Amino acid sequence: MKLSKYYLPTLKETPTDAELESHKLMLKAGMIRKVTAGVYSYLPLGFKVLKKVEEIVREEMNRAGAQEIKLPIIQPAKLWQESGRWGDFGPEMFKLSDRKENLFALGPTHEEIITDLVRNELNSYKDLPLTLYQINDKFRDEIRPRHGVMRSREFLMKDAYSFHTSQESLDETYQDMYDAYGRVFDRLGLDWVAVEAPSGLMGGGYSQEFMALADEGAEEIVVCSKCDYASNVEIAKYQTSSNEEKTDLKKTKEVATPGKETIDAVSNYLDIPSWKIVKTFIYRTDEGLVAALVGGDDDLEEMKLINHLGTPKVEMVSTESEIKEITGADFGSIGPVGLDIPIYADLDIKSLTNFTVGANKTGYHLKNVNWEKDIPNAKFINLRKVKRGDRCHNCGTKLDFHRSIEVGQLFQLGKKYSDSLEGKYQDQQGELNSYIMGCYGIGISRLVPAIIQQNYDNQGIKWTNSVTPFSMALIVLDADVSKTRKLGNKLYKGLNKRGYDVLLDDRSSSPGVKFNDADLIGIPVKIIIGPRGLDEGIIEVETRTGEKSEIGIDSGKTETILDELEQAISKPEAGTNTPV
RNA sequence: CGGGGAGUGGCGCAGCCUGGUAGCGCACCUGCUUUGGGAGCAGGGGGCCGCUGGUUCAAAUCCAGUCUCCCCGACCA
């Protein structure tokens, strides 16, 4: 490609609305442009990289035995109502209607559509297992789109779905997908880790997320450095403390705590350590109200409550009037004693004795509360958020915390969709069974900023060889002068013939512009043809990582120069950017 | 949903307080000179000042409403 003809509007100044480095760089490098909040156009450079990522994903999915299909973006509301997710997804879905006022959604995911497809065609156990996938645009009306195409409302995703007659068969395909994902992310040069994950709105059972490590990532994960345990913090397991207190149970006492509404305030006022005060949260669930209790120093992890209750949604009761109606007190004084609703308490506070809780009477707390005597109906489950210092539940090693970008997820869906949508096959005995399903996503458009986030410097992007938009930049200085221009064109043609995808910078701009653009857009190798070099009988090769070499051109034979060039850029360090 | 900020040529911004014919830098076009890490000179094109209404002889500027975008938060028990 000749740069003089290429639509590459690079920016010198950073657009002010970009926060994250990958977002800034994609704008500056002329890869994307914003159309409206969370919606982007891809320009030639960005689209080229996107397609390279897409192709790697496609190759590995095909290798894993999945078959590519394409499902519609427009989906009838009917199917979503059938699965019960029309309401669950709610405002996340872009909805529209046709001229007959039928309701539709722009697909945020495709479980309904694929189950519908398969249930009509696939009736025999002989046709299972089956894995289908597509690479298609998805639409989610995010609460807050962020960071360019990292979290956008229209995005490109690979989603695969598998259908099985048994858990064993699902396990097998799940493992195949896991392996395929590993190959994809390795080929992309990512520093990644797979973690246990909540299955959220997808429903179902076991799930893992693939995370690209990045300090600016939105997701927090814990990783054990000794064994192979790794998890999203939302469901992270850890060793619960079990230090039994050997003290006499004292008599419960109501104490005035006027205006003391926070744990810290109550702790200071009553001179009680904060870990001996128990926090109470009231949640509204599909099953009615529940109370959730954690230690004063701990945070409650909603996902753990959700998983335990098995309901897709819980909502904290958060208005003054409601809380007063339920507990009889204002925020700051609510507690579990005497509440006539199910009470779930964090395992870590099971061993507490003579602890303090709100009295359900504004301005008062109860001291010396004990489980059996005062809250006999409490059920103990893991409820609190994992925190620094927690130890691995497998091996007891201290857990490491990392931030990361979610780039893929595997789900074992089980029968959630096949049951609700009547997706059934006949088994050997002639009986009807629901398929057991899995689903597997990769955020293709998110992968591009994720890769950049792990590979950039002050000059710009540093592409890995597998996704670089061009294998090299052939920079012709003094391009209006025939000497350099002629040689540049010759080498350009020769390299193209040898199969390289070369960006020829034949613009008449000054050298600095060319060097900076090549570095900004992240091309792994620069080949520099300039008058100074020609006088010395050389052209220069410089990698994006800064290694320089020279090639003699005195022979005057193009093929010889090309041979030497090929040799120079095939050196292991040239143009590679091996991640840690 | 709550809080903060911003909407002025493609991009980055000034002008607004104190109303009086819309400006700067980059980018773009033409010409000449330039070419090893974002060149110089000269000339030039391009803006419903987010939108609607109001005040006024006169509104980018003042007032009201509205839309959009960005950032932070979405907790506290």
Q: What are the pLDDT digits (tens) for A202-243?
A: 556 789 999 999 988 888 999 999 999 999 998 899 988 766
A141 CA to B54 C1', in Å? 37
Residue range of the domain that includes A353:
253-381
CA distance A488 to A494: 10
Domain identity same for A11 and A99: yes
**DSSP assigned state of A209:** E
pLDDT at residue number A202: 59
CA distance A48 to A65: 26
| CATH number of the domain encompassing residue A367 | 3.90.960.10
pLDDT tens track for A400-418: 999 999 999 999 999 989 9
End-to-end CA distance of chain A: give it in Å, rounded: 32
Nearest-nucleotide field for A326 (CA, C1'): B77
Structural tokens at position A35 = 């159309």
A509 CA to B33 C1', in Å? 14
A28 CA to B14 C1', in Å? 24
Closest CA to A357 of A282, A291, A278, A290: A278
CA distance A209 to A518: 34
Please indicate, yes or no, if residue A89 is contained in any of the structural domains.
Answer: yes
Domain identity same for A169 and A41: yes
Strand order in the sheet with A253-256: A253-256, A364-369, A355-358
Nearest-nucleotide field for A531 (CA, C1'): B36
How many separate domains does chain A show?
Answer: 3
**What residue is closest to B5 (Cα–C1')?**
A17
Please indicate, yes or no, if residue A422 is contained in any of the structural domains.
Answer: yes
A35 CA to B30 C1', in Å? 33
Domain identity same for A431 and A356: no
Domain identity same for A448 and A483: no
Radius of gyration (C-alpha) of chain A in whole angstroms = 30
Single-letter amino acid, residue A344: Y
Nearest-nucleotide field for A11 (CA, C1'): B11
Domain identity same for A523 and A434: no
A462 CA to B34 C1', in Å? 31
Domain identity same for A179 and A293: no
Nearest-nucleotide field for A513 (CA, C1'): B38
Domain identity same for A351 and A487: no
Nearest-nucleotide field for A538 (CA, C1'): B36
**What residue is closest to B75 (Cα–C1')?**
A318
A108 CA to B67 C1', in Å? 27
Q: Are A405 and A212 in contact (CB under 8 A)?
A: yes
Domain identity same for A362 and A327: yes
Please indicate, yes or no, if residue A579 is contained in any of the structural domains.
Answer: no
Closest CA to A445 of A135, A157, A159: A157
A474 CA to B34 C1', in Å? 22
| CATH number of the domain encompassing residue A429 | 3.30.930.10
Regions of chain A where pLDDT drops below 50: 574-580
A573 CA to B27 C1', in Å? 37
| CATH number of the domain encompassing residue A542 | 3.40.50.800
Nearest-nucleotide field for A266 (CA, C1'): B77
Please indicate, yes or no, if residue A10 is contained in any of the structural domains.
Answer: yes
**What residue is closest to B25 (Cα–C1')?**
A13
Q: What is the DSSP string of A531-560?
A: HHHHHHTEEEEEETTS-EEEEE-TT--HHH
Nearest-nucleotide field for A263 (CA, C1'): B77
Please indicate, yes or no, if residue A575 is contained in any of the structural domains.
Answer: no
A101 CA to B53 C1', in Å? 34
**What residue is closest to B36 (Cα–C1')?**
A511
Domain identity same for A520 and A377: no
pLDDT at residue number A303: 84
A508 CA to B44 C1', in Å? 21
Nearest-nucleotide field for A479 (CA, C1'): B35
**DSSP assigned state of A236:** -
Q: Write out which nucleotides of chain B lie closer than 7 A to a protein Cβ.
A: 1, 11-13, 25-27, 34-39, 68-77
**DSSP assigned state of A171:** H
Q: Are A523 and A474 in contact (CB under 8 A)?
A: no
Please indicate, yes or no, if residue A412 is contained in any of the structural domains.
Answer: yes
As a 3-state breakdown, chain A gives helix, strand, coil percent values, each rounded to 5, of 30, 30, 40
pLDDT tens track for A285-335: 877 889 999 998 888 888 888 888 877 677 888 777 788 888 888 888 889
A34 CA to B56 C1', in Å? 40
Please indicate, yes or no, if residue A181 is contained in any of the structural domains.
Answer: yes
CA distance A239 to A232: 16
**What residue is closest to B34 (Cα–C1')?**
A510
Domain identity same for A375 and A420: no
**Dihedral of CA A230/A236/A237/A240: which sign?**
positive
Three-state secondary structure readout of A259-293: CCCCHHHHHHHHCCCHHHEEEEEEEEECCEEEEEE
